Amino acid sequence: MTLVRRHWTLIGPALFVVVFALGGRLTSGSIQLQVRSILVTACIVVALHVFIGVSGVVSFGHISFVAIGAFAAGIATAPAELKPTAFPDMFPFLANLEIGNIASLVLAAAIGGLYAFLVGIPIVRLSGLAAGIATFAVLIITNNVFRNWEAIGPGAKTLPQIPETSDFLQVTVGLLAVMAIAYLYQTSRYGRMLRATREDPAAARSSGVHIHRQRLAAFTLSGLLAGFAGGLLVHLVGSITTNQVYLDLTFITLAMLVIGGIGSLWGAVIGAVFIATLNTVLFEAENQFDLGPLSVDLPAGSRLVGLAVVMILVLLFRPQGITDGKELRWPFTRDGADRSKEVEAGVGMGRD
Amino acid sequence: MSGPVARPILRVSDLEVRYGGVPAVRGFGFEVYPGEVLGLIGPNGAGKTTTLFAIMGILEPSGGEIEFEGSVINRLPPERIARLGIAMVPEGRRIFSEFTVEENVRLGLMGRADAGGEADDLDWVYSMFPIIDEFRSRTAGQLSGGQQQQLAIARALVSRPRLLLLDEPTLGLAPVIVDTLFEALGQVRGRGVSMVLVEQRAQLAVQFADRTIVMRDGELVTSLEPSDASDADRLANAYFGS
Amino acid sequence: MILVQNLIDAIALGALFALVAMGLGLMFGVMRLVNFAYGELITVGAYTLLLTSGQPEWVRVVAALLVVVVFGLLMDVTFRPLRLASPTTMLIATFSVSFLLQNVAVLVFGTRGEAIGFLPVLNQAVDIGGLRIRWVTLVSILIGALLLGATSLLLTRTTIGLQIRAAAADFRMARILGVKANTVITTAFVGAALLAGVVSLMLSIQRPLATPTFGFLVIIPALVGIVVGGMDRLVPATLGGFAVGVATGLLGNLLPSAQRVFLNTALFLVVIIVLLIKPDGLFVRGRQTVERL
């Protein structure tokens, strides 16, 4: 029991995820897809947390890694007989490639990590405003390239016929794995060193912490996890377009992180689940659904507006998010003292 | 001071100012009487600048009261406090180095409570600091350290403040320049402007001020008279404690 | 000949981008705010013109400018609490507002563009010394120059201009001297909004359809411009905007279409490089440590 308590920061949210997934399994067909989608989105947000939450530096570009992972996994698993005709300009080795499910996930993670590493080398030197703009630039560039370089990507067309292998098992195990890795990282020496640079850069530097090196490690790891999430994503719906992994997704996942509370793993999970559920409800509402005697039918576009409004309200009135940047607390404490080995997260977003 | 005790122009009582959760100043209080120069000395980190910032409205006190000419000014923004008649010359001068000297001085006019009479105020200040008058159209960044300090003080004075807060005006200046500066400050004192003078050069401060208080770790430690200026032991004790 | 024509078109685009950069620079100067949502002011202008179709042109102009200024004031109010927030929070917040407004536009108007029909006559070309130049190009350059000049004069010759410059240079010191924070920030926002309004007018002539991303597409290169030029100071920022506008115009016309789609990539690669080598911008001399209160 002490083991459970010591690692409650991971186990608590993990239990939540399992319960959520099991509950989703019991629902009807179309909602099942939504639940799986929520879990995949949570992967992305946890990946974001590994960098943004721990380092305190914002990145608008992480969806690039999701994108590259998704495209890598997608192209690698799309049927080889279809690709050359549908995408005549694609590199032959890509067009003829066809690998298995797990392999594609590994590939997605690897490519995500590699891309993040390369991009990160210059980027991690920047902070605050400059980092935000530079990572935004990465997002634009990645999207621009994937959209127009027909040799490596599907361009503006949809990449279809990708095996839909992201069932409940794959998605849940995937999310749990991502969370475990995130937990291991943030409680590791490296994670804690990086967190120190966020709270007091001068002190951290003088105690020998190489800020850029640690940031690069976090950036690469989060890119890897994001790429993996991209792999899960593409196997969820069996197709992918460049627009699906661009500004909308960037905004939504960032909103989830902020609303959940930057700096905590639990915040990433709960923010993702809460907002994704809201997103799903609004999505259904846009297409009309019946709530008992009520019939809800919102005009198209209200979903994103609703999310944006929630995001702005949170930023103005509770910028530290739902969790205030703190991890999930062990629910059973005797004498008031909590002896669980919590990673004391920072105080939300501080000055860079 | 002779005559009946006048009402203090500035009264700080029980001041507490926090950075994050930590109090940088606590239980600190003092009074400044009209026309008086109060010296404020103490080691680095004692809370002297914090105190001045609190008076000027840049930092909001978490406890205590700051009264200027009888009214409480705790919650007011700096621009309002400026218009009430308090001016500040912060540490490091903070002149606008890309603007001309004249533009810098003109900015000081923003702190005036009333329009009109601007020309007189400008003349007054330019006559007190002839160097500034001479370099009116120069870029402020081209001035020497001592001249910049004069500019900073001139800029503060052009709004005719009744209370002047100075934070380490002699920082980084050669002794000869320091002398010139204190001459100018003497003139300012002669015009009846009350001052709170924070100074690193403890001896100078104690000598020049009517009274000097010593601050350490956010609290008031002791009070000194100009006659103590030559007593090195007393000064050292006050600074570092026994 | 073609080259000269392209150059003139590019200069007109540069003029418009310079105005946008100036607006962004004004808001950045007084609040250290990179306003991702500034483009939406341009979109608002375009949609106002759309909604006033059929009215006399001068009514449409006044309405557009008015509505844009109102939205500018709304932004002023909304972003005020962020004045002391970290750059991260600010970026996310303005990004959110931009996102919100774009999707409100989708909600209200749909994603398909609608024809604005504003002063289409200016799209006609006039023959000048063998060159065929559209009226709107000439007007853009003229109005651009006028506004840049007027703003310059305002900033350097008036008291409020002095206050704005002082606030941009050292906000805390300006307040100590008695400069009213609120007045300065609101004036800067209103000024920036007016600039956005004018840009939306000029663009609406040339880009006939009002879409939810009307302004967002302009803000992206303009951001490039102020980062490259130098965010901290108004003149370099404006120059940066002008440079990016001219570059975009020239490259847009001169590049074969296969390469043209990668224009954004090229622009943003430049941004990253500049941020790494000279984070203060290309046109700025020396570093400025700026304090915000």
Reported confidence tier of residue A318, pLDDT bands at 50, 70, 90: confident
Sign of CA dihedral B123, B126, B130, B135: negative
Q: Comparing C-alpha atoms, which of B71, B79, B139, B77 is closest to residue B108?
A: B79
Query: What's the pLDDT at A163?
Result: 81
> DSSP labels for C18-39?
HHHHHHHHHHHHHH----TTHH
Stronger pLDDT, A251 or A158, i.e. the higher one: A251
Query: What's the pLDDT at B69?
Result: 92
Query: What's the pLDDT at C293?
Result: 33
Exposed, middle or buried, C287 (CB in 10 Å: 0-12/13-18/19+)?
exposed
The stretch B25-36 carries a mean pLDDT of 91
Reported confidence tier of residue C80, pLDDT bands at 50, 70, 90: confident
- Whether the per-residue pLDDT at B8 is higher than 70: the answer is yes
Rounded to the nearest angstrom, the minimum Cα separation between B77 and chain C is 8
Exposed, middle or buried, B238 (CB in 10 Å: 0-12/13-18/19+)?
buried
Reported confidence tier of residue B123, pLDDT bands at 50, 70, 90: confident
The stretch C203-221 carries a mean pLDDT of 88
Instruction: Write the DSSP symbol of residue B40.
Output: E
Angle at A212 between CA A209 and CA A217, to 5 degrees: 95
Count of residues in chain C: 293
Reported confidence tier of residue B87, pLDDT bands at 50, 70, 90: very high
Q: Cα(A42)–Cα(A277) distance, rounded to whole angstroms?
A: 11
Sign of CA dihedral A136, A140, A141, A146: positive
Per-residue pLDDT tens over the stretch A202-258: 777 777 778 888 899 999 999 999 999 999 999 988 888 888 889 889 988 998 998
- Whether the per-residue pLDDT at B128 is higher than 50: the answer is yes
Whole-angstrom CA distances from B120 to B156, B191, C157 are 15, 15, 21
The stretch A68-89 carries a mean pLDDT of 81
* Mean pLDDT rounded to a whole number for chain A: 82
Q: Cα(A214)–Cα(A208) distance, rounded to whole angstroms?
A: 11
Stronger pLDDT, A88 or C225, i.e. the higher one: C225
**Residue showing tokens 């006048």:** B6
Q: Comparing C-alpha atoms, which of C199, C202, C198, C171 is closest to residue C184?
A: C171
Per-residue pLDDT tens over the stretch A182-204: 999 999 988 888 888 877 777 77
Residues of chain A contacting residue C85, judged by C-beta atoms under 8 Å apart: 319, 349
**Residue showing tokens 């409680």:** A187
The stretch A1-19 carries a mean pLDDT of 86
Contact C107 A138 (CB under 8 A): no
Element holding B32 (H helix, E strand):
strand B22-32
- Whether the per-residue pLDDT at A336 is higher than 70: the answer is no
B84 near C CB under 8 A? no
Element holding B42 (H helix, E strand):
none
The stretch C81-108 carries a mean pLDDT of 86
| Number of helices and strands in chain A (H, E) | 16, 2
- Of A318-322, C72-76, C95-99, least confident by mean pLDDT is A318-322
- Whether the per-residue pLDDT at B148 is higher than 50: the answer is yes
Query: What's the pLDDT at C277?
Result: 83
Q: Cα(B224)–Cα(B42) distance, rounded to whole angstroms?
A: 12
Query: What's the pLDDT at A270?
Result: 92
Identity of the residue in C87, C99, C265 whose CB atom sits nearest the CB atom of A308: C99
Element holding B67 (H helix, E strand):
strand B63-68
- Dihedral angle of Cα A146, A150, A152, A158, to the nearest 10 degrees: 70
Identity of the residue in B82, B99, B112 whose CB atom sits nearest the CB atom of C176: B82
Reported confidence tier of residue C37, pLDDT bands at 50, 70, 90: very high
Q: Structure pTM?
A: 0.84
- Record the tokens describing residue B83, joined without a space: 């218009």
* B37-41, strands of its sheet edge to edge: B86-89, B163-167, B194-198, B37-41, B211-216, B219-224
Reported confidence tier of residue A56, pLDDT bands at 50, 70, 90: confident
- Record the tokens describing residue B29, joined without a space: 């209080």
The stretch B212-234 carries a mean pLDDT of 84
Query: What's the pLDDT at A83?
Result: 74
**φ/ψ of residue B221, rounded to 5:** -105, -50
For residue B179, what are the contacts with CB-CB under 8 A and spacing of at least 6? none
The stretch A6-20 carries a mean pLDDT of 89
Q: Is A344 helix (H, G, I), strand (E, B) or coil?
A: coil
The stretch A307-330 carries a mean pLDDT of 84
Asked if A179 contacts A186 with a C-beta cutoff of 8 angstroms, the reply is no
* Mean pLDDT rounded to a whole number for chain C: 86
Longest dimension (CA), chain B: 54
Per-residue pLDDT tens over the stretch A260-302: 988 899 999 999 999 888 888 877 777 766 666 666 666 767 7
CA A300 to chain centre: 25
Stronger pLDDT, A50 or C57, i.e. the higher one: A50
* Pairing between β-strand C114-115 and β-strand B10-19 as defined by DSSP bridges: unpaired
Query: What's the pLDDT at A331?
Result: 78
Q: Comparing C-alpha atoms, which of C183, C287, C152 is closest to residue C231?
A: C287
Residues of chain A contacting residue C91, judged by C-beta atoms under 8 Å apart: 58, 60, 129, 132
Reported confidence tier of residue A339, pLDDT bands at 50, 70, 90: very low
Query: What's the pLDDT at A41?
Result: 94
**Residue showing tokens 């689940």:** A273
Q: Cα(A11)–Cα(A4) distance, rounded to whole angstroms?
A: 7
Query: What's the pLDDT at A45?
Result: 96
Chains meeting B at 3+ CB pairs closer than 8 A?
C
Identity of the residue in C176, C179, C180 whose CB atom sits nearest the CB atom of B90: C176
**Alpha helices in chain C, H assignment, sequence order:** 2-31, 38-51, 57-79, 87-109, 135-157, 159-169, 171-177, 181-206, 216-229, 234-254, 257-260, 263-277
Element holding C15 (H helix, E strand):
helix C2-31
Identity of the residue in A122, A258, A350 whose CB atom sits nearest the CB atom of C92: A258
Chains meeting A at 3+ CB pairs closer than 8 A?
C
Interface test with B, best of C176, C232, C235 (most B CBs within 10 A): C176
Contact B58 C293 (CB under 8 A): yes
Q: At what angle do helices C263-277 and C234-254 cross, to 10 degrees?
A: 150
What b/e string do you get for C239-261 counting C-beta neighbours within 10 Å, with b at 16 or more?
Answer: bbbbbbbbbbbbbebeeeeeeee
Instruction: Write the DSSP symbol of residue C81.
Output: G
Stronger pLDDT, A340 or A273, i.e. the higher one: A273
Q: Cα(A237)–Cα(C130) distance, rounded to whole angstroms?
A: 57
Stronger pLDDT, A47 or A1, i.e. the higher one: A47
**φ/ψ of residue B99, rounded to 5:** -95, 165
Q: Cα(C192)–Cα(C68) distance, rounded to whole angstroms?
A: 10
CA atoms within 13 A on the CB side of B178: 15
Q: Cα(C103)–Cα(C121) distance, rounded to whole angstroms?
A: 31
Instruction: Write the DSSP symbol of residue A91.
Output: -
Stronger pLDDT, C33 or C66, i.e. the higher one: C66
